[in-house]
Structure 1
Amino acid sequence: MAPYESDDGTTAGEAEKVRAGRRKASRYAVPVAVVGVAAATIGIVPALADSGDPDLPEISARQLLEKVAASDVEQMSGTVKINTDLGLPDLGGLAGGLASGLGGAGGGHDSGSAADPSSRLMELATGTHTLRVAADGPDRQKVSLLENAAEYSVIHNGKDVWGYDSASDEVYHSTADGTARDHRKDRRSGEDFPATPGDFADEALKAADGTTSVTVDGTERIAGRDAYKLLIRPRQSGTTVGAVSIAVDAKTGTPLKFTLTPASGGAAVLDVGFTKVSFAAPAASTFDFTPPKGAEVTEGDDRGGHPDRTGRMPGKDLAGKYDGLRTIGEGWNTVAVLDTGGSGMPSGSAADGGLGGFLGSLGDHASGKFGSGTVFSTRLVNALITDDGKVYVGTVDKATLVRAADAAK
């Protein structure tokens, strides 16, 4: 089906309704959260579309945004396929260790448990993954990461949050903060994992302001369901984001697929979508969990440093850990700035085994009014680490990043 119509002039107000109607993503915003662990914020999925585009009634971008905002789905289950192509090598187990060493994506804690959700996030930063998800209202969600001959699960049931790693037979337990649940619908299907297309659609729709074009780009079939395609394109130059496509279930308004393609072209950086989905209530036993006999159980603090349910952005968590965190720029050219108070990268050369030399060999030298530093790049996120210990990071190209650093000086 051909695209319907451009509705760019009305998207700012409608996107605001979406923000009010859907909970802000509290942990996985881009680019702010990438300061903690850049790759971990970008996760996720190629969902397989069925053949043949459905013939659906025409709808405007305004109407489709309203449909997403009005969606009241609280019960669901399904399978999500996740594929991430940042242009990074396969991090494997090293990724989890790095996330843990950084205190998670702004969480500020390191339990040392293989079952701690924050220690597993970066596994989603590369390659293809399969998740099973289930949700029954704001107080019960489950996400299971399926691996070779093993499974990792995060279970939220009432006040309890459990993480279980079958490979190591380790369990992580923390207590959920339910203070925001009385007045806000929570559609996350897992306490800490960005597990469904809706988890990513929130942030993309939030960017739909005057810097963004939003249109309806036809229809498709996702996981056996009819869907409209919402196409989001930056109007600004300098961003590494080419376009975001969100497949919206025609009946329920639930995002079924989320695809982000880079401005440089080529394969999608992130593609998140359902291969199977049901909107029936999952069995209550789905959310039951008792630590297996003999398993090592680690008790975390209340909420264990994980994000609360009040819509708090990751930058506030990071600000508590680092001084001087702020953002500059607007729209798709927003850059997060972090002053570590240090002296930049460690010194040394790659030849003599120095860490600084090794890290420097992975990036590009940059200089300007800000001084000098090194730019580290992926297909989506660029980060500038200056010699005086400042970090600039965002979904912008190198030239825009350097200009931002110069302007902030």
Structure 2
Amino acid sequence: MTRAQQRWLPALLIPVALVMAVLLGSVQAGAAVSLPSKTADEILAMIARTDVRALSGTVEQSAGLGLPEVPTTGPGIAPGAASALELLTGTHTARIFVDGPSKARLQVLDQLAERDVVINGGNAWFYDSADNSATHLSAPASPASDGHESMPSRSTMPTPEAVARSFLAAIDSSTEVSVGDARSVAGRSAYRLTLNPRSQETLVDSVSIDVDSQTGLPLGIEVRAKDQEEPAYSLAFTELNLSTPDAGLFEFTPPSGASITEEVLPPKPVPTLAAPPDAGQLRHSGPAPTGEGWDTVLAFPAGSVPPGFLSNPQLSQALQPVAGGRALTTSLLSVLVLDDGRVYAGMVPLDRLQSAAAAQ
């Protein structure tokens, strides 16, 4: 793996972890609280109306997917290049700051290092203190204005709200929605909304979302796998402040001596009415879903996985050989990486991914 590829790994930490969480999603049950009763539809309406634009807080993520602990040091391990897979094992704590749609900061607090993601308008910084490396990602100039495109911030941060909305957007007739006991999360009273898949194919048993009784903001999410007693994945605020964070938190200057990589996001294609998008635009427009509801499989075309990512030694340890490629299987998620570069992922057993790949 080249040094340039190593530097990209910290930049991939949060986006890839979020993609995995979207396919999936620490809620520590606080003391029971008393709240006025509400129906599931009323709680869903609260979430839809939430208007929290700024916050700061601490989130805790806990994963029990059946994956081995990922080493971050040792022979063959790139310095400071702990992969997204590492964030899906064990417990991790992070500080999150958000101010509106285009300013956000995430500080992942490891035992011996800190990783930062700072997004401010058209600029983003990814920093890893373990090897004092930084990647500066800038958005291209927008053809529609004299400025630059803004990078997504709030929706790409791994907050309970972002993960919860991904699950809620998928509610259909294949989902039973119910209301559980109210509880306290990060010192705030919350309603508990539970989603139970009616599908027999998915690996998911249930998804529970704790919703702030005052603002409708999702405060925590807990995902349980079938035939597993403890939650397989959980993410929740342990501290939360809804005031506007200090503006200086969204400015970043690399420390002295840091190795810096400059990258520019490719420009978005400009839509026109003169002609439909060409095949290349469609190929790079994102994963193509097959199936419906909890049985959905995401198909990523060849070339869509960042160079060097699959050769990351941490990830290679978890991928097992299968016919035509390699696979990662967990209690909630399966990923199939084919030899031709295509990637399939879903909250379904591996054989369903293999069937989807064979049909394309």
TM-score (norm 2): 0.74
Deviation at 1:373, TM superposition (A): 7.3
Point out the more displaced range, 391-400 or 55-64. Answer: 391-400
Aligned to 2:293: 331
Give the conservation status (yes or no) of the 8 Å contact 2:22–2:163.
Answer: no
Deviation at 1:288, TM superposition (A): 2.6
Aligned to 2:310: none
Deviation at 1:178, TM superposition (A): 9.9
Deviation at 1:265, TM superposition (A): 2.2
Equivalent position SS for 2:47: helix
Aligned to 1:129: 92
Distance 1:283 1:195 in 2: 20
Deviation at 1:214, TM superposition (A): 1.1
Identity of aligned residues (%): 35
Aligned to 2:30: 50
Distance 2:49 2:152 in 1: 13
Matches within 5 A, 1:9-408: 33=19, 46-51=26-31, 53-93=32-72, 121-176=84-139, 188-189=153-154, 194-302=157-265, 319-320=283-284, 326-337=288-299, 340=302, 362=320, 376-384=328-336, 392-398=344-350, 400-401=352-353, 404=356, 408=359
Give the conservation status (yes or no) of the 8 Å contact 1:43–1:125.
Answer: no
- Cα separation, partners in 2 of 1:56 and 1:91, compared to 1, 3 Å: same
Equivalent position SS for 1:50: coil
Q: Deviations over 1:191-243 (max 9, x none)?
A: x5x42111211111011111111111121100110000010111111100111
**Amino acid of the residue matched to residue 301 of structure 1?**
V
- Cα separation, partners in 2 of 1:233 and 1:139, compared to 1, 3 Å: same
**Amino acid of the residue matched to residue 393 of structure 1?**
A
Distance 2:236 2:123 in 1: 27
Distance 2:89 2:281 in 1: 25
Deviation at 1:260, TM superposition (A): 0.6
Aligned to 1:15: none
Deviation at 1:362, TM superposition (A): 3.5
Distance 1:171 1:388 in 2: 32
Give the conservation status (yes or no) of the 8 Å contact 1:154–1:161.
Answer: yes
Q: Deviations over 1:336-382 (max 9, x none)?
A: 345659xxxxxxxxxxxxxxxx999946x67xxxxx87764211122
**Amino acid of the residue matched to residue 139 of structure 1?**
S
**Amino acid of the residue matched to residue 334 of structure 1?**
T
Give the conservation status (yes or no) of the 8 Å contact 1:328–1:337.
Answer: yes
- Cα separation, partners in 2 of 1:326 and 1:137, compared to 1, 3 Å: closer
Give the conservation status (yes or no) of the 8 Å contact 1:143–1:189.
Answer: no
Unaligned runs of 5+ in 1: 1-25, 35-39, 99-111, 181-185, 309-315, 342-357, 367-371
Number of aligned positions between the proteins: 317
- Cα separation, partners in 2 of 1:336 and 1:317, compared to 1, 3 Å: farther
Aligned to 1:9: none
Unaligned runs of 5+ in 2: 1-13, 145-150, 270-279, 304-315
Distance 2:186 2:214 in 1: 13
Equivalent position SS for 2:163: helix
- Cα separation, partners in 2 of 1:188 and 1:67, compared to 1, 3 Å: farther
